[in-house]
Structure 1
Amino acid sequence: MLEEPEERPGVPDALVAPASSRPRRRGRTVRLIGAAALLGLVAGTCAGYLVQAGREPTKLPPLSQPALRQAKGGVEPLTAAQDPRLRTDGDLRKLLLKRPRGARQEGWVPRDGWMGLAAYARQYTRPAGEFSDLVTDQFRRAAVTGWKDGGAYGVEIRLVQYRQEDSMAAADASHNLESYAEGEPQTDSWAVPGTGDGQAYVHHRPDTKNGYLPVYSAEAHAWRGDVAMEIWIYGTKPVPKKTIMDLAKRQMERL
């Protein structure tokens, strides 16, 4: 049986349809089907409204809900292990590393272990500008310790705390010191484990002055919460990586 030829524009239906079929009126048929579908949709919608109108209204749940019972007893406060702020809001000096046995405290360290705003600003080459910046950064306090380890190295550790009402000043201060350290020539650096972005640095080029022995240095910077950690080591011999990394790791574990 032959297939029906493809319909072409301008060709009458009687020439392309089989003899047993009637000429097709496609346009009218489509219009009739569309009208019937529309009448069916309207009729169905009206019937639905009539059925719904004959039913009794469904009761809605009350807007007011029963009051929940309050648990008895108070909420237990967080421990120092759960809330680091409990440690740093106390005596910050207690979080400093202890002076090694046999090491002696050096004269540059304050006897009471505290360094105020003016004293801390004087540690920088431009104290007046640093003082203004520290006021803007909401400097709170600094706890300091330090010692002379035999005849080779001097160590100083600072925990600098900020109020941080308007900015992450502790993180900013740590990052600024890292930028200065990275700009020093002949410097190696390593990430301090467990600190996120803390870094330790060993400077291989010594500072030299006429009449003085060359001074080598190393430093480490990290932060946690509102406290920035600074560690400085100076000596007449190159500072080993292990020395600065060990101090930085142990000090951050206490924060």
Structure 2
Amino acid sequence: MDAPDTPPERPRGRRRTGVLIATAAVLGVVAGTCVGYLIQAGREPTALPPLSQPSVAQAEGAGPEPLSAAQDRKVKVDGDLRKLLLSRPNGARAWQDPPGSDGWMDAGELAETYKYPAEAFRNLVGTREFRRAAVTDWRENGDLDVEIRLVQYRQQETGTEAADAADNAYYFADQADDTDSWPIPGTGDGRAYVHGKPDVFYGVSQYSAEAYAWRGDIAMEIWIYDTKPIPRTKVLDLAKRQMERL
């Protein structure tokens, strides 16, 4: 036989038993109250305690001090995002053809850094809810190039765009051959990658390393390029110091 579309009606006998038990309990309470009243009536009256109570001293001050702008992360990340980027090391110089404009990258400029720019642009302004991106770059020690981006998405109340962007970057970085990775201290799931196999451009070998992490609505991206292998301490140090500024 097929199961009924609706559950069967609860048996009435169980419901009636519950009512009888509840009624007996009420009668028992009433009887106990009457007995207690008769006993209390035969006793001497007891004086009530005074209504006045000792005053309680209030703590001094009007409450905790509000956070300063430096301590309040929301104030910090809603300001000039470029100020949160690491400063160029002493002796380093900017690239001749720096990315973005005046330290900023719009959605179109950021999309151009992807393999499929049109699709990346649609994702950035649609699903990803791109807000803005700050970028810095420098060359140090002759051939070592560094680029750091802070990509800010819409507030986390509407999604987890920064975390999703980092997860996406982890996935593709792990796919590269001859790649080692390490967690970035103090970032939860942030990771740094060093690629042991160089790319060759016009007969010149170029090694690379990268790092990704996120905090709140900001995703951090770091790339390092050099003509010789890049030590993991280099990329880990940059990533750790950059995340400490967020």
Fold-level match, TM-score > 0.5?
yes
Residue 138 of structure 1 aligns with which residue? 129
User: Are positions 1:173 and 2:165 aligned together?
Assistant: yes
In the alignment, does 2:83 pair up with 1:91? no
In 2 relative to 1, CA 220–51 (structure 1 residues): closer, same or farther, beyond 3 Å? Answer: same
Greater C-alpha radius of gyration: 1
Unaligned stretches of 5+ in structure 1? 1-43, 57-70
- Give RMSD over aligned pairs: 2.5
Q: Which residue of 2 aligns with 1:63?
A: none
Cα deviation, 1:28-53, whole Å, max 9, x if unaligned, reads: xxxxxxxxxxxxxxxx9896464357
Q: Structure 1 82/50 Cα, relative in aligned 2: closer, same or farther at 3 Å?
A: same
Question: Match of 1:250?
Answer: 241
C-alpha separation between the residues in 1 aligned to 2:165 and 2:158? 14
What SS does the aligned partner of 1:159 have? strand
What is residue 188 of structure 1 aligned with on the other side?
Answer: 180
Partner of residue 123, structure 1? 113
How big is the shift at 1:181? Answer: 0.6
Whether the 8 Å CA contact 2:100–2:109 is kept in 1: the answer is no
Cα 1:219/1:76, change in 2 over 3 Å: same
Q: Given the superposition, is the C-alpha separation of residues 82 and 47 from structure 1 closer, same or farther in structure 2, using an over 3 Å criterion?
A: same
Partner of 1:219: 210
Measured after TM superposition, the shift of residue 186 of structure 1 is 0.4
Deviations 1:61-103 (A, max 9, x none): xxxxxxxxxx996874322454311111100100111111111
Count matched residues.
198
The sequence identity of aligned pairs, in percent, is 56
- Match for residue 91 of structure 2? 102
State the match for 2:190 in structure 1.
198
Distance (Å, rounded) in 2 between the aligned partners of 1:125 and 1:45: 79
Secondary structure at 2:235's aligned position in 1? helix
SS in 2 for 1:133: helix
Counterpart AA for 2:132: R
Q: For residues 215 and 227 of structure 2, what CA distance do their matches in structure 1 show?
A: 32
Cα distance in 1, alignment partners of residues 243 and 118 from structure 2:
30
Paired with 2:29 and 2:230, the residues of 1 have a C-alpha distance of: 89
> Which residues in structure 2 correspond to 1:223-238 (within 5 Å)?
223-238=214-229
Q: Distance in 2 between matches of 1:186 and 1:206?
A: 10
Distance 1:74 1:230 in 2: 40
Tell me, in whole angstroms, the C-alpha distance in 2 between the residues paired with 1:242 and 1:45: 76
- Residues in 2 aligned to 1:151 and 1:223: alpha-carbon distance in whole angstroms: 30
Give the superposition deviation at 1:178: 1.0
Q: TM-score by structure 1 length?
A: 0.71
Distance 1:144 1:48 in 2: 79
